[in-house]
Amino acid sequence: MLMCRGVIIAYLCMKKNYCPMKTTTTPIRTLLPLAVLAASGTAAAQVEEKPNIIFVFADQWRKQSLGFRGEDPVQTPNLDKFASWAFSFDNATSCRPVSGPNRACLMTGMYPINNGVFANSVPLDAETPTLGDVCKAAGYATAYIGKWHLGGLNDHVATAEGRHGFDTWVQSMGHMPFNQGYYIGDDPNRVYKKGVWAPTFETDTAIGFIEDNRDKPFCVVLSYNPPHTSGGYMFEDRWQPGKRKPDGTIRYGYGYGGPREYEALYTGVDYRENPIRGNVEPMRKGNTKDRSEGCIPGYFGAITAIDNDFGTLMNYLEQEGLLENTIVVFTADHGESMGSQGLMTKGTWFEESVGVPCIIGMRGSIVNRREQCVFNSIDLLPTLLGMASLPIPPQVDGKDYSPMLTGEAFTPPQYALLSFDFGGVAELKFPRYWRALYSPRYTFVLCGMNSNRDVYTRDGMVLYDRQQDPLQMRPIFKGMGHDGLMDRLFAALAAELDATGDPFIEKYWNNENAGYPELNHYTMDLEDYTRQLESGKVRGPQEVD
Ligand SMILES: [Ca+2]
């Protein structure tokens, strides 16, 4: 434990010496230091006019799983209704499609290379401003309910500093949606909610918080853990491909799942004969046992159940007349491959992995549109703060799209920059480096020398034209007639990486001996960290990812 703390403290100290390059042009009005804003005598009067913020996100919910998109055969009537009057970014992306890193992107508006959370179980610097910090400083009542995953190896955050401005704290731990454990406020003991579908409990908790705080502006983050693989009570008979013991028996507690009445909506279909998507392949080549079909009722069942919980929240807001002064966001951490491209889960540049729902509404203020421009997860924080006329911290890399939401002229960025280094700290010795430039039409990828490169790229470079090939079944390599376009995209990607200080192309792209990287402007004692995990004295990242 002491060694682990030493690693984290060393990391924090080194990080403070790093000054990230700033690429965002920020209006002068947004540059007020948080301390100045908090001390302002006029803040109390002004804050009463501020809109509320409700930030709802699920974990492994791909953008294809929205009924109104007409892609996956899944029912989401409440999100369809929300999108019918709100603003939907149809090409929204997860900046780094794995939990802790993308959650840091969502909460800080900064790229992983600048916010420091490059893998699961790396803690977010307590001094980096988040949505909660900004809203609290502006006088909002603040709450965080659900999965956090930004507190390091021991994710439970006991200190006010580590809660990043969220005063009401109901943190879920692990993947047990029918026996979910929570850390609530300062209580060091984990409280379990047995037999209750966790998103329903969390939604009710959020509504209770709103009821208690509706006389002043409030900001609540509602972070649902499902849909996610595993686990525990009521998951015993579920099955996830690849999660069998060596003797072939099912590992306890694995598999996607939701309340049985919602799963029942999706059973009785032979998904092998009727694949949910045109690019579904056996999960592992040559392995006829491990397939995705068995997971589909659990995955879609969880999604429709959460849609029902989201409907409960929206009905409450409508009945109480809160939709006109509340910005509501629904998005996800990242997607789920569910057999597409022969893959499960996330971590790749494919649409099913990086594409997320992103619907934003405030009745009477935000226009109704389905927009095809790029919108990266780092853009959500500045966009919300812009909509609420709250200060955008100068460290933020993302863009404020709020003029677009209100129907004003706005030129969005041409590209979103996506990236990946590692899943969790347990795999630090097995990097999955890649960088991608994402436009409304193209996905252009540079892949380091790892297993993804072997399978999906040639010479570490691949282009997909999603207009001609939406399922990404026809990769374009150099020499196939698009070299000029690929050269231009390479130059644009290189420029984006240079702007963020990312040495990927020079040091890691074609380096088969690329070890622990300098990709985050500081180093950690990898061997110490690994020993801590192997000792069993600290909980490893396997419990949350
Ligand atoms: Ca996640």
> Nearest to residue 425, comparing CAs of 529, 538, 347?
529
- Please report the pLDDT score of residue 252 as a whole number: 55
* Residue 17: pLDDT over 50: no
**Domains of the chain, residue spans:** 2-61+76-225+303-414, 417-535
Q: For residue 107, how far is its CA from the centre of ligand 1 (angstroms)?
A: 14
Q: Which residue has the higher pLDDT, 236 or 354?
A: 354
Whether CATH 3.40.50.1220 fits 417-535 = no
**Shared fold status for 2-61+76-225+303-414 and 417-535:** no
Taking only the tens place, the pLDDT of each residue in 472-525 is: 999 999 999 999 999 999 999 999 999 998 989 998 899 887 765 555 444 455
Tell me which of 538 and 154 has the higher pLDDT: 154
195-202 mean pLDDT: 95
Q: Is 186 exposed, middle or buried (0-12, 13-18, 19+ CB in 10 A)?
A: exposed
Compute the mean pLDDT over every residue in the chain, rounded to the nearest whole number. Answer: 84
509 C-alpha to center of ligand 1: Å?
25
**Residue-wise pLDDT tens digits, 245-273:** 777 766 655 568 899 899 999 999 999 88
How far from chain centre, in Å, is Cα 181?
A: 21
| Amino acid identity at 248 | G
Give the whole-number percent of the chain exceeding pLDDT 70. 78
Query: Predicted confidence band at 145 (pLDDT cuts at 50, 70, 90)?
Result: very high
**pLDDT band at 432, cuts 50/70/90?**
confident
- For residue 49, the model assigns a pLDDT of 83
Strands of the sheet containing 87-93, edge to edge, are 191-194, 179-184, 168-173, 141-147, 218-223, 52-60, 326-334, 358-361, 87-93, 369-376
> Does residue 33 have a pLDDT over 90?
no
Q: What is the rounded CA–CA span in Å between residue 293 and residue 339?
A: 8
Least confident segment among 105-114, 286-295, 476-485: 286-295
Are 448 and 509 within 8 A, CB to CB? Answer: yes
**Which of 496, 407, 509, 513 has its CA nearest to residue 113?**
496
Residue 398, classed as helix, strand or coil, is: coil
420 CA distance to ligand 1 centroid (A)? Answer: 13
Average pLDDT over residues 94-105: 95
* Interval between CA 255 and ligand 1 midpoint (Å): 15
Q: How far is the CA of 332 from the centre of ligand 1 (A)?
A: 8
CATH of 2-61+76-225+303-414, one of 2.60.40.10, 3.40.50.300, 2.102.10.10, 3.40.720.10: 3.40.720.10
Dist. CA 94 → ligand 1 center (Å): 10
60 alpha carbon to ligand 1 midpoint, in Å? 6
For 219, list phi and psi in degrees, rounded to 5: -130, 120
Q: Which amino acid is at 152?
A: G
pLDDT, residue 530, reads 57
Who wins on pLDDT, 184 or 282? Answer: 184
112 token code pair: 């992983």
* Residue-level pLDDT at 356: 98
Residue 454 CA to residue 211 CA, distance in Å, equals: 54
- Expressed in angstroms and rounded, the spacing between residue 175 Cα and the centre of ligand 1 is 11
pLDDT in tens, 402-422: 999 999 999 999 999 999 988
- CA 333 to ligand 1 center in whole angstroms: 5
Q: Is the pLDDT of residue 470 over 60?
A: yes
Greater pLDDT, 233 or 50: 50
**Which of these ranges, 40-49, 190-199, 441-450, 469-478, has the smallest mean pLDDT?**
40-49
pLDDT digit string (tens) for 305-333? 999 999 999 999 999 999 999 999 999 99
Owner of token pair 């002064």: 325
Q: Is the peptide bond before 231 cis (omega within 30 degrees of 0)?
A: yes
Q: Of the given ranges (279-288, 449-458, 522-531), which has the lowest mean pLDDT?
A: 522-531
